[in-house]
């Protein structure tokens, strides 16, 4: 299925942010708005795009090229009459679209799940489905928004000036090529907007809707709405599986760092390796066995744990997630865990040459590594249910940081050995009752 993206308008209201750039190229967390639209659609399974250009179209074409940089294919259509209604932009792509297609706005950001759901819908006799929002959201400019009225499963009216309305047009459509006839009919009536065309279909009871529900969308047309979009994207980086230390401490530091790093060329894998190197340094400092070194080592372990959040955050913000990247990061984390514990054992043993520390250290490392081993299965089974508490790496590293700062290496390893292995036994028992 192809996606048609309208990127022809001037977007005067956001000029103070976009400056000389056309609105679709307004930057947001390392990507321009239109790149976010393309990559969101790609993650929902769309690989072929038709983009309608108008105002400063050359700059957009220069930026996006043929799409190969994004792993998609892009064709362009020029709408010379971009100053008129946006219906003309849709009409200008008529020859490029023969089958059902998705229509998107270059400035309407959305959760890719919305498009995944829309793509699965069947037109079933209708000529289009429009995604609408029935919730009140305080960041929607109701005056400027396009409203719709619905009855049963269809749209009965659409426009900016409806007195009563049931929802807001989210600018995301699934359409058959009948939309082009409808736009031409609307043109004859003197209305050159996309809403005009939709109204023609609505009159024939051929326009259905899909409620966006709780999923996010936003029409970015002012500096304020850009801020709202940025805040939403950053907040969504906190995962439901995050442990307490991760949620309340690490993310509060890693997210602002990621916000800066997305604007650089630093890749998520490079950040994984940086975090690993910081752990190595922590392990090395622990091995000296003296308090100032140990305190610094503990802090570095915690810093490494924080930085370890950034790789996934940058990957998600820039649509660079890969299963290999996540896996490689997890293997590096396991080696980092082991080496930090080895550094702790060795440093303590130099000044307390008793074998006991090696045995506790041994059980700490076994328990820690098997925490991660059992988590793979445990998280699969338990993921649906809400968990109050998740024991994971964030907490282990926090304990190591405390142990380092307080100069309590022995106690730390005893505590780690006990709680990590206890947690593994607990998981074996919990899962046995789920069988």
The residues of the shown chain that bind its own copies, judged by CB under 8 A, are 322, 324, 327-328, 331, 334-335, 338, 342, 345-346, 349, 355, 358-359, 361-362, 365-366, 369-370, 372-374, 376-377, 424, 428, 431-432, 434-435
- Report the nearest approach of its own copies to the CB of residue 71 (Å): 13
- Report the nearest approach of its own copies to the CB of residue 177 (Å): 33
- Report the nearest approach of its own copies to the CB of residue 277 (Å): 16
**Nearer residue to its own copies within complex by CB, 212 or 283:** 283
Residue 10 near residue 48, CB atoms below 8 Å: no
Token readout for 59 is 């700059």
Q: Label residues 174-211 b or e (16+ Cβ within 10 Å = b).
A: bbbebbbebbebbbeeebbbbbbbbbbbbeebbbbbbe
* Gyration radius of the chain's alpha carbons: 27
Specify burial of residue 292 (Cβ count, 10 A radius: 0-12, 13-18, 19+).
exposed
- Report the nearest approach of its own copies to the CB of residue 148 (Å): 42
- Report the nearest approach of its own copies to the CB of residue 323 (Å): 8
- Distance, in Å, from the CA atom of 329 to the CA atom of 318, rounded to the nearest integer, reads 17
- Report the nearest approach of its own copies to the CB of residue 355 (Å): 7
**Nearer residue to its own copies within complex by CB, 248 or 373:** 373
Token readout for 12 is 């005067």
**Nearer residue to its own copies within complex by CB, 257 or 338:** 338
**Nearer residue to its own copies within complex by CB, 76 or 362:** 362
Residue ranges of the alpha helices (H) in 65-111? Answer: 87-91
Q: Which residues pair with 128 in a beta bridge?
A: 175, 207
Please give the angle made by the CA atoms of 34, 37 and 40, to the nearest 5 degrees: 145
Q: Which residues pair with 218 in a beta bridge?
A: 109
**Nearer residue to its own copies within complex by CB, 101 or 346:** 346
**Nearer residue to its own copies within complex by CB, 165 or 346:** 346
Residue 301 near residue 400, CB atoms below 8 Å: yes
**Nearer residue to its own copies within complex by CB, 165 or 391:** 391
- Report the nearest approach of its own copies to the CB of residue 310 (Å): 20
Tell how far CA 31 is from the center of its chain: 12
Q: Which residues pair with 130 in a beta bridge?
A: 173, 209
- Report the nearest approach of its own copies to the CB of residue 308 (Å): 17
Q: How far is CA 252 from CA 108, 229, 296, 419, in A?
A: 28, 18, 21, 26
- Report the nearest approach of its own copies to the CB of residue 206 (Å): 33
- Report the nearest approach of its own copies to the CB of residue 112 (Å): 21
Residue in this structure with the two tokens 């602002």, named with its chain if needed: 256
Token readout for 159 is 């426009």
As a dihedral over the C-alpha atoms of residue 252, residue 253, residue 255, residue 261, rounded to 10 degrees, the angle is 170
Query: Phi and psi (nearest 5°) for 200?
Result: -60, -45
**Nearer residue to its own copies within complex by CB, 204 or 377:** 377
**Nearer residue to its own copies within complex by CB, 12 or 69:** 69
**Nearer residue to its own copies within complex by CB, 155 or 345:** 345
Q: How far is CA 115 from CA 46, 119, 131, in A?
A: 9, 6, 9
Helices (H) and strands (E) in the chain, counts: 16, 13
In 3D space, the residue among 21, 28, 20, 23 whose CA is nearest the CA of residue 9 turns out to be 23
Q: Which residues pair with 104 in a beta bridge?
A: 5, 172
- Distance, in Å, from the CA atom of 228 to the CA atom of 234, rounded to the nearest integer, reads 10
**Nearer residue to its own copies within complex by CB, 270 or 431:** 431
As a dihedral over the C-alpha atoms of residue 110, residue 112, residue 116, residue 121, rounded to 10 degrees, the angle is 0
- Report the nearest approach of its own copies to the CB of residue 268 (Å): 13
């Amino acid at each position: 299925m192809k996606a048609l993206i309208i990127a022809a308008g001037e977007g005067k209201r956001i000029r103070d942010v976009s400056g000389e750039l056309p609105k679709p190229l307004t930057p947001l967390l390392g990507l321009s708005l239109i790149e976010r639209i393309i990559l969101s659609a790609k993650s929902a399974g769309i690989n072929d795009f038709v983009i309608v250009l108008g105002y400063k179209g050359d700059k957009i074409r220069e930026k996006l090229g043929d799409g190969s940089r994004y792993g998609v294919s892009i064709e362009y259509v020029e709408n010379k009459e971009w100053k008129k209604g946006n219906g003309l932009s849709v009409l200008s792509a008529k020859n490029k679209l023969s089958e059902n297609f998705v229509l998107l706005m270059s400035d309407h950001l959305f959760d890719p799940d919305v498009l995944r759901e829309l793509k699965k819908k069947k037109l079933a006799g209708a000529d289009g489905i429009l995604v609408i929002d029935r919730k009140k959201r305080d960041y929607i400019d109701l005056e400027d928004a396009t409203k719709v009225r619905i009855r049963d499963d269809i749209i009965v009216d659409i426009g900016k000036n409806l007195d009563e309305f049931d929802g807001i047009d989210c600018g995301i459509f699934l359409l058959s090529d009948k939309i082009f006839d409808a736009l031409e009919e609307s043109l004859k009536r003197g209305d050159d907007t996309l809403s005009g065309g939709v109204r023609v279909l609505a009159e024939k009871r051929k326009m259905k809707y899909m409620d966006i529900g709780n999923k996010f969308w936003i029409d970015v047309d002012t500096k304020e709405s850009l801020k709202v979009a940025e805040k939403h994207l950053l907040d969504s980086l906190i995962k439901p599986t995050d442990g307490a230390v991760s949620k309340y401490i690490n993310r509060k530091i890693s997210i602002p760092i990621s916000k800066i790093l997305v604007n650089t060329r630093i890749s998520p894998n490079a950040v994984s390796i940086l975090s690993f190197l910081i752990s190595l340094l922590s392990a090395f400092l622990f091995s000296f066995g003296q308090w100032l070194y140990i305190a610094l080592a503990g802090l570095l372990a915690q810093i490494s744990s924080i930085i370890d959040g950034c790789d996934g955050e940058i990957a998600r913000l820039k649509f660079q997630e890969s299963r290999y990247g996540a896996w490689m990061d997890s293997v590096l984390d396991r080696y980092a865990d082991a080496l930090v514990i080895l550094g702790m054992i060795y440093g303590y043993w130099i000044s307390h040459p008793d074998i006991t520390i090696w045995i506790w250290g041994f059980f700490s490392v076994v328990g820690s590594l098997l925490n991660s081993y059992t988590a793979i299965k445990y998280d699969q089974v338990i993921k649906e249910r809400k968990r109050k508490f998740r024991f994971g790496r964030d907490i282990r590293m926090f304990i190591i940081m405390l142990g380092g700062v307080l100069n309590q290496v022995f106690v730390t390893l005893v505590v780690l050995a006990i709680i990590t292995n206890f947690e593994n036994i607990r998981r074996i028992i919990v899962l046995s009752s789920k069988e």
